Structure 1
Amino acid sequence: MKSIKVFAPATVANVVCGFDVLGFAVDAPGDEVIMRLTEKPGVVITKIEGDGGKLPLAAEKNTVSASVQHYLNHIGCNHFGVEIELYKKMPIGSGLGSSSASTVAGLFAINSLLDNYLTPMDLVPFAMKGEELACGFGHADNVAPAVLGGFVLIRSYEPLDIIKLPVPKGLYCAIVFPDVDVPTRDARQMIRSKVLLKDAVIQWGNIAGLVSGLFMNDLDLIGRSMQDVLVEPTRSILIPDFYKLREMAHEQGAISFGISGSGPSVFAFAKDEQTAHNITNKIQQHLTGLHINSNAYVSAVNEQGPKIIG
Structure 2
Amino acid sequence: MTALPTSTAAPHDAPNPPGPLREARVPADGMYEGRRTLRRLPDGWTERPYEHLDVVPRGRVIGAEIRGADLTRPLDPAVRAELHRALLEWKVLFFRGAHLTSDQQRAFARCWGELETNPLLARGAAEDVVRFEKGGTAAPTFENVWHADVTFRERPALGAVLQLREVPPVGGDTMWADMAAAYDNLPDGIKARIDGARAVHDFIPGFARFYGPEQLVPYQDEFPPVTHPVVRTHPETGRRTLFVNTSFTTHIVGMDRAESDRLLGHLTRQAHVPEYQVRWQWQPGDIAFWDNRATQHYAVDDYAPHRRVAERVAIAGDRPY
Q: When the two structures are superposed, what TM-score results if normalisation uses the length of structure 2?
A: 0.24
**Which structure shows the bigger proportion of residues in helix conformation?**
1
- Kindly indicate whether structure 1 or structure 2 has the higher relative contact order, using CA contacts under 8 Å at least 6 residues apart: 2
